[in-house]
Chain A
Amino acid sequence: MLAWTIYISFLGAAAMFLLPKGSVALARILALLTAVAGFALALTAFVQHRSGEMLTVTRVPWIPSLGIEYHLAADGISLALILLTGIVAVTGILFSWDIDHRTKEFFAFYLVLIGAVYGVFLSYDLFLLFVFYEIVIIPKYFLIAIWGSTRREYGAMKLVLYSFVGSAMVLVGLIAAYVVSGSQSMSLGDLAGYPFSPHFQMFAFPLVFVGFGILAGLWPFHTWAPTGHVAAPTAASMLLAGVVMKLGAYGCLRVAMTLFPLGLVTPWNHHVLGLGSWRGVFALLAVVGIIYGALVALVQKDFKFVIGYSSVSHMGFILLGLMTLNQIGLSGAIVQMFSHGILAGLLFAVVGRMVYARTHTRELAALGPMSLNHVIPFAAVAFVIAGMASMGLPGFSGFVAELMILVGAWHAFPLLAVCVGIGIVIGVVYVWRAMQKAFFAESRNEPASPEHPLPPISLPERLGAIILIGASVLVGVYPQLLLNIIVPALNSPLFDGLRKGSWQ
C-alpha cells in the first residue's frame, strides 16, 4: 500500500491536465485530495508498522542485466519522514489555496515533487533512490521560477545547479561503489554488506556525503538555500525547507554513512588543523553551519531570509547529530528532521503566505509599523508558537530533538557541544528579533488603518497552521511516538557497519 503514496501523487499530477480549462477550484480540491490520500496512506503505514524494522513494500526486477530492482521498502526512519512528507504536503496545499496563476500546472509540479520525495524515502535500491532524487530537481525549478518572487529565476537556477552538482557527486560515488562491489546489485542491503576497503571508503564517503550534504544545507555549500527559499512561493518554500532538505540529510545517513562507515571514522595518518578524520571535519562544518546560519539570520532585513538562514542553522543540528555516531544523537537527528520539517513549513507559511501575500513586503522595517499583531493576530500567534518551537522551547518537537543531539554531541565532541549552546542562544535572539520587528514593533498609538485593509487569515491557512502546530506539540510532548520506530531502525543490521566502526 505504501507504494501508492508515490503513484497517487504522480496520478494526481497527471490528472491535473485532464481537468477542463479554467477549473481552478477543482484543481485545488483534486490536489488536496491527492495529498490527503498520500498522507492517509503514510499514516496508516505509520500506525500499523510499529516495529520499525525494514519492511519490503514492492520488489520486482527492473533492469536484470545490471541487477537493478524496483525495490521499495520502509523502516522506521523512512516512515517518520514519509509521515512528515504527508503532513507538509497537505498543509502546503492549504497554504497555496490562493494560487490563481496557472493553478493546474502549479499543483501538477507540486504533486510530482511530492511523489518523488515519497519515492526517495521509500527506495531501497540505490539506483531507484537516485532516480527519484533527481526527479525532485526539475519541479523545484519550475515552482520557484514561475510562481516565485524576489529574483526567482536566479534563486531557482542556483538551487537547481547546486542540487545537480550534489547529485553528480552522489552519482560518482554510487557508480564507483557499484563497480567496486562487483556490480551484482544496487540494493542498499547488498552494498552496505560489501566490505569496501577503507581506502576506497575514505574517498567515497566525503564525496557522497558532501553530495547529499549540499542539499541538506551543509556549510559552506548552503548558499542555495536562503536564496532558493526566499524566491520560492510559500508552498515550495515549505516543501524545500521542510522536506527536500531532509532528502539530503536522509541520503547522508542512508547512503553515505551506511555504505561507507569506515570512511567516516578511519583516522587520517596526519592531523589537519587538529582534525583527524572526516567525522571531525563534518561535525565542525555542522557546528559552523549552526552558528553561521544563526548569526546571519540575526542581521537580515528581509523576514524570509531570517527563516531561510534559520534553516541552515537547524540543518546543522541534523548533520551534527549524524556525526555523533551514537544512538541518541542519530535518533535526535531524525527527530530533528521531522521537527524542522514541520517548523520550517510553519515559519515559511506564516512569512510567505500569511504576511507577505497580504502586505507585499518582507522588509522587517516596513512590517513593523503595520502593527501586524493587531491586524492579523492569528499570524502573530502562529509565528510566536513556531518561533518558540524553532528556538527549542521545551514542549515542542525542536527541544527534544536538539536535546538529544546535544547529548550525543556531549558524548562525542564536548567542545563543539558548548559551541552549539552558543548557537542555541543566538537562535533565540534572532527569532526574537524577527518577531519583535515584524509583529510587535513599538507603536503605542492605535494602528493607522491601511488604505487596503489586509484580508483576514482564511480557513485553509488556519487549518494548515493548526495541523503543523499540533504535530510539533505532539512530537514534543510525546517523542516516543517517533522514537519507537526510529530506534529499532537504527539498531537494524543495515547499520552494522556504522556500529562496528565507532558506535558509542
Chain B
Amino acid sequence: MSTFPIPMLTILTALPIVGALVVFALGKNRARWSALAFSFAALLLTLVLWFHFDAASGALQFQETRSWIAPLAVDYHVGIDGLGLLMLLLSAIVVPIGMAASSQIQQRVPLYYSLILLLQACLFGTFTAQNFFHFFLFWELSLVPAFFLIKLWGGPRSTKAATQFLVYTMVGSVAMLLTFLALFLATHTFDFAQLAALAQNGQLMPAVVDKLAWHRFTPQHVALILFAGAFLGLAVKVPLVPFHTWLPAAYAEAPTGTTILLTGAMSKMGVYGFLRILLPIFFPQMQMVLTPLLWLAVATIVLSAYAALAQKDLKRILAYSSINHLGYCMLAIFAIAKFTGGDADLTAEKQAAMSGVFLQMFNHGLTASALFWFVAMLEKRTGGLRGLDDFGGLRKVAPVFTGLMGIALFSSLGLPGLNGFIGEFLIFKGSFPLVAWATSLAVLGLLTTALFTLGILQRVFSGPLNEKWRAFPDLTIGERLALAPAIGLMFALGLYPQLVLAAIDSTVIQIVQQLRF
C-alpha cells in the first residue's frame, strides 16, 4: 500500500503541532490528559501506518510530493521506508512514556506538554523528510523545545547544560548546512535520493569539486571537508566520542521525562542521519577515513562504558550507557561502509549488521526510556534523590519495582530473551567478519556494561536495606499497568524479533544493495 488516499505523513506531523497549540490554550488541569490524548492519537496513526505498510517493498511509501520553494529546487517530499517507519513508531511510543514520567512537573504544565508535543512533531518531520531542506528544518527546530525543556524544568545546573547542548548541536548543524549548500550548488538538489544516486554514479564529488575549485585543495580534500561537515553535525547528535561531552550534563539536568525523549528518540536522529545521509552519499569518504572512524566508534563504546562505571548518579550512568549503546550502531555502520564494492559474499554480513543497527536503535529507545522512567519513579518517591549510594536493599520493600527495573536493566545489558540481545548480537555477528579488530575491541565495552549494570542492581536493590527507605512504596497498580506494555514489548521483541525484522527486512536489503554497484 504505497499510496494512501489521505496525506498520512503530513497529518502525522501536523497532529502534535495542533496538539501543542490546543494544550497550550487549555488550562493547567487539562493539559496533562489532553497532551497524553494527542500522543496516543499519534501512536494510533503510526500503528495505522505500520499495518498498512507494505513490508515486501523496500521503496518509499506513503509518499507525498508537492512543489515548495522553486529557487531552491525544494519539493515538499515526504515518505517512509522501513527505517522511517521504525523511527516513527519509536517516537510515537517514547513520547507517551516521557509524558507519563513527567508527573512531577508542577510549574507551567501546559507549556511543558506543548513543548513535548512540538518536539514530537519535529521528530516526525525529521524521520519522514526526503530532502535535506525539510530534514534540516525539523532537525533544527527540535532544538528549541529540547532546550527549553532542559532549561526551564531542569535541575540546578540546567542552564549551563542546556546551553552546552544547544551550542554543540548548533555548531554541528551549521557545519552540516554548509556542506549541503555546497552539494546543492553542484547538483542543484537537496533530495536525498537524487544525491545518493549521484554519489553511486560517482558524479557527486567531481561536480562539487568542479564547482568549488579551491585552488589549494585537491578534490579529495574538498570531498573530505564536506564529509567532515556533515559528519560533525550528525556525530554531535548521536553522540560519538569526543563530541559527547554535552550529553551527560544534559541528560542528568533535564527533567527525567525530557531525558526519556532525548535518549529514546532524539539521539536516534543522529543515527538515522548516518543511515539516511552519510552512508548513501558519503561512503567513499567514509572509506577514506575508515580506520579513524572505527577507532572513534570503539572509543565511544569502551570509554563511555568505563565512564559509566565511575558515575554515582543513576541518570549519568544511564546517559553514558546510552552513548555506549549507540556506539554499537556506529561501529556497525562504519563496518558496513568498509566494503561497498562488488563483495557479494559479504552481503549477508552487511545485512545482519544493518538489521542489528535498526533493532538496536529501536530497542535502545525502548529500554532506555523504560530505565529513565524507573529513575523518574524513584525520584518521585525520594524527592529527587538518585545517587547510586543513596539506596540499598530496596528489593525488600519494593519487590515489584525491583523486578521490573531488573528486567529493563537486563534488557539493556543484552540478556538473551530480552529485546536488547538480538540487536547487539546481529551487530556483532555482522561486523566481526567485516572489521574483526574493532569488533573485538568493542567486546570490552560489552563486558564493562555488564559490570555497571549489575552494579546498579547490587547497590540499589540488594544488600542491607537503607533504613531511610523503610517506607519506600512499591509500584502502584496504575504504574504497573502503565509499565506493562513496555515490559511486554521487551519480552516480545526478545523472543520474537521477527515482529520488527519483518517490517525492515526489505529496507535493509534495499540499503545494502544500494551500496553495491
A interface list, Cβ under 8 A from B: 327-328, 331-332, 373, 384, 388, 393-395, 399-400, 403-404, 406-407, 410-411, 414, 417-418, 421, 424-425, 428-429, 432, 436, 440, 442, 444, 478-480, 483, 487
Contacts and interface: CB of A to CB of B under 8 A. Distances in A.
B171 A417 contact: no
Contact of B171 (A394, A395, A410, A425): A425
A436 B159 contact: yes
Contacts of A407: 72, 181, 184-185
B333 to A, nearest CB: 26
Contacts of A429: 167
**Majority-rule SS of B interface residues:** helix
B16 to A, nearest CB: 14
Contact of B70 (A414, A425, A436, A487): A487
B170 interface: yes
Interface of B: 67-72, 133, 136-141, 143-144, 148, 151-152, 156, 159, 163, 166-167, 170-171, 174-175, 177-178, 181-182, 184-185, 211-212, 214
22 contacts: A328-B71, A332-B71, A373-B152, A384-B144, A393-B140, A393-B141, A394-B137, A394-B141, A399-B137, A399-B140, A404-B71, A404-B72, A407-B184, A410-B212, A411-B185, A411-B211, A417-B181, A421-B175, A428-B170, A444-B156, A480-B70, A483-B71
Contacts of B144: 384, 388, 393
B185 A410 contact: yes
Nearest to A479: B69
A414 B222 CA distance: 12
Contacts, number: 85
Given A425-B174, A432-B166, A483-B69, A440 B156 contact: no
Contacts of B184: 407, 410
Contacts of A421: 174-175, 177-178
B180 to A, nearest CB: 10
B152 A440 contact: yes
A436 B163 contact: yes
Given A393-B140, A410-B212, 9 more contacts: A328-B72, A394-B138, A399-B137, A411-B185, A414-B182, A417-B181, A421-B174, A425-B171, A487-B70
B141 A424 contact: no
B212 A442 contact: no
A414 to B, nearest CB: 5
A424 B175 CA distance: 11
**Majority-rule SS of A interface residues:** helix
A424 B133 CA distance: 17
A437 B207 CA distance: 46
B70 A483 contact: yes
| 8 closest A-B pairs by CB | A394-B137, A394-B140, A410-B185, A421-B178, A328-B71, A410-B181, A428-B170, A395-B141
A92 B49 CA distance: 47
A417 B229 CA distance: 14
B212 A414 contact: yes
Contacts of A428: 166-167, 170
A483 B67 CA distance: 13
A360 to B, nearest CB: 26
A333 to B, nearest CB: 12
B170 A480 contact: no
A444 B152 CA distance: 10
A331 B178 contact: no
A401 to B, nearest CB: 11
B181 A406 contact: yes
Contacts of A332: 71
Contact of B69 (A400, A410, A418): A400
Contacts of A440: 151-152, 159
A300 to B, nearest CB: 18
Given A407-B181, A410-B212, A414-B212, A424 B68 contact: no
A339 to B, nearest CB: 14
A291 B185 CA distance: 23
A414 B71 contact: no
Nearest to A423: B174
Contacts of A373: 152
Contacts of B185: 407, 410-411
Contacts of A395: 137, 140-141
A331 B71 CA distance: 8
A290 B112 CA distance: 35
Contacts of B211: 411
B136 A394 contact: yes
Contacts of A399: 137, 140
A410 B182 contact: yes
Contacts of A394: 133, 136-141
A429 B137 CA distance: 19
A185 to B, nearest CB: 33
Contact of B174 (A388, A411, A424, A436): A424
Nearest to B183: A410
Given A421-B177, A425-B174, A414 B214 contact: yes
Contacts of B177: 403, 406, 421
Nearest to B144: A388
A321 B68 CA distance: 21
- The interface centre, meaning the residue of A403, A404, A406 with most chain B CB atoms within 10 A of its CB, is A403
- The interface centre, meaning the residue of B177, B211, B212 with most chain A CB atoms within 10 A of its CB, is B177
Contact of A480 (B69, B137, B174, B175): B69
Contacts of A393: 140-141, 143-144
Nearest to B182: A410
Nearest to A480: B69
A444 B212 CA distance: 51
Contacts of B212: 410, 414
A328 B74 CA distance: 13
A403 B152 contact: no
Nearest to A420: B178
Nearest to B108: A377
Contacts of B68: 478, 480
Contacts of A410: 181-182, 184-185, 212
Nearest to B160: A442
A287 B177 CA distance: 18
A400 B71 CA distance: 11
A393 B169 CA distance: 13
A235 to B, nearest CB: 29
A395 to B, nearest CB: 5
Contact of A425 (B137, B163, B170): B170
A429 B168 CA distance: 11
B159 A442 contact: yes
A480 B67 contact: yes
A7 B218 CA distance: 61
Contacts of A403: 72, 133, 177, 181
A418 B175 CA distance: 9
Nearest to B137: A394
A373 B174 CA distance: 29
Nearest to A403: B72
A251 B183 CA distance: 33
Contacts of B174: 421, 424-425
B76 to A, nearest CB: 10
Contacts of B166: 428, 432
A411 B184 CA distance: 10
B178 to A, nearest CB: 5
Contacts of B163: 432, 436
Nearest to B143: A393
Nearest to A387: B144
Nearest to B68: A480
A487 B178 contact: no
Nearest to B136: A394
A388 to B, nearest CB: 6
Contacts of B137: 394-395, 399
Nearest to A331: B71
Given A394-B140, A406-B181, A410-B185, A327 B159 contact: no
